[in-house]
Amino acid sequence: MSNRVRRSKPELYMALWGALTFGALLASYMAFRPIRDALVLGDWDRLPLLFTATLVAVTVLSPVWSTVLGRVRPRRAIPFAFHVFAICCLGFAVLVGNDVAPIAVSRVFYVWSAVFNLFVISVFWSLLADLLGPLIAKRLYGPIAAGGTIGAIAGPALTRLLVDHIGIDGVLVLSAVLLEVAVIGVAGVRRWGEQLDREDGVPLDEPAPGGAFRGFTQVARSPYLLAIVAYVLCTATAATFMYLEQAAITAAEYPNRADAAKLFASIDFWTNASTFVVQTVIAGPLLALLGPGIVLLALPLAQAIGISALASAPTIATLVAVQITTRTLTHGLTRPARELLFTVVSRDDKYRAKHAIDTVGYRLGDFGSAWLHQGLKALGLGSVALVGAMLPVAGIWMGLALFLGVGYRRRVATGAREDRPG
């Protein structure tokens, strides 16, 4: 009994600190996401260009981050990165508050926020995969993800309540403060994570040897990691199609940015409320019973149905219903299932390859699907063509989910650990 108590105490505190940290991160991002979407509302036809700029930004950032990991211990580099993003939040608050070059600032902010979203979330889950390993991750990912969902609920709710009183610049300052709370949380995660009772031991926090492009080369050499890349590309492709349709429909119905921001905040709030229910009630039992492969099938099925519904009835009501459903599945089921896939790869892959996949891989999907969407619209092809373009993607997407499920089970069965190559 005493051994069990000694083991459970670090896990309990790890879950609490992890939930706090993830909640602060998502609250920070979700607070300003409605602002981001509202700022580019009148510029929605330029979104493909913004996606292209985002792809360039993350492609440049990934080798820089890989270089940092080769010189600084990864668990110490993460808080420093959060500080940098918090300073950027304050900088944008000053620019927006003083109405400096509003069009240019809104476009730069859009690109920066996309990088922020992918980067901070990716490195946090890298830290968890490094500290927890596959067995403990199955026990703690649920509570930690639920903490993140509480933060994601709080973020848009705070924006909806406060934006009329503190303005857009005030919301950005709030986001910076929440990022600093996450820095404190990372310290707690490191402290208790390094005390976890793992059979294979918690890896030492040492700089990861390798060059700037090691993350890309590791992915290219591993069929398992390449399959994760392909799954991420499909996820991004479908999400971008939905996002562009949302931008077009909302621009026509809500010319006022404040009204649009409130609509986006409402979608985010209800999405995260339903996500919390899925994470706390459904995700854990499903992952334990079916494994990540079967769970990963849910999103492609829902996206195929949702895109078909939106093409048939492009209204605000349909948009809200489809976005809430697909985003709930994305964050409630797909995210924890996909993060489990990284618990059975090498430590280097958890930081470098995972970061390349989560940032460059995802934004490559944004880039391709945005220009495909733009091309179909330019050719005068309507909703039927959009649905037809997505159906083959959905089929490939489902096949990848099954392949990854088999690959994960094989790695668990053969004892794949973080000290083995991915």
Residue 386's CB: how many other CB atoms inside 10 A?
20
Number of domains composing the chain: 1
- Percent of the chain at pLDDT > 70 equals 86
Model pLDDT, residue 385: 61
pLDDT, one tens digit per residue, over 300-354 is 988 888 877 877 777 888 888 988 999 999 888 898 899 889 888 887 788 888 8
Q: Is residue 247 part of a domain?
A: yes
Cβ atoms 32, 113 nearer than 8 A: yes
Separation of alpha carbons 214 and 282, rounded Å:
37
Does a structural domain hold residue 181? yes
Chain center to CA of 211: 25
CA–CA separation, 326 vs 237, rounded Å?
13
Amino acid making up residue 337 = A
Does 422 reside within a domain? no
419 in a structural domain? no
Query: Going by C-beta distance under 8 Å and a sequence separation of 6 or more, which residues neighbour residue 166?
Result: 173, 174
Is residue 418 a part of any domain in this protein? no
Is 256 a domain residue? yes
Specify if 421 maps to a domain: no
Task: Please name the residue that has the structure tokens 């099954």.
Answer: 402
Does the global pTM surpass 0.85? no
Q: What is the pLDDT of residue 18?
A: 95
- Lowest mean pLDDT across 49-63, 99-113, 269-283, 406-420: 406-420
Q: Residue 129: its pLDDT value, please?
A: 85
- The number of beta carbons lying within 10 Å of the beta carbon of residue 316 is 14
DSSP summary character for residue 357: I
Residue 42 lies in a domain: yes
Handedness of CA 130, 136, 142, 148 (dihedral sign): negative
pLDDT in tens, 349-388: 888 888 788 877 777 777 777 677 667 666 666 555 666 6
DSSP letter for each residue of 195-256: T---TT-PPP-------TTHHHHHHHH-HHHHHHHHHHHHHHHHHHHHHHHHHHHHHHH--S
Is residue 221's pLDDT more than 90? no
Region of residue 101 (phi > 0: left; psi between -120 and 50: alpha; otherwise: beta): left
At 6, the pLDDT band (50, 70, 90 cuts) reads: very low
Range of the domain at 8: 2-413
CATH number at residue 140: 1.20.1250.20
- pLDDT score, position 379: 66
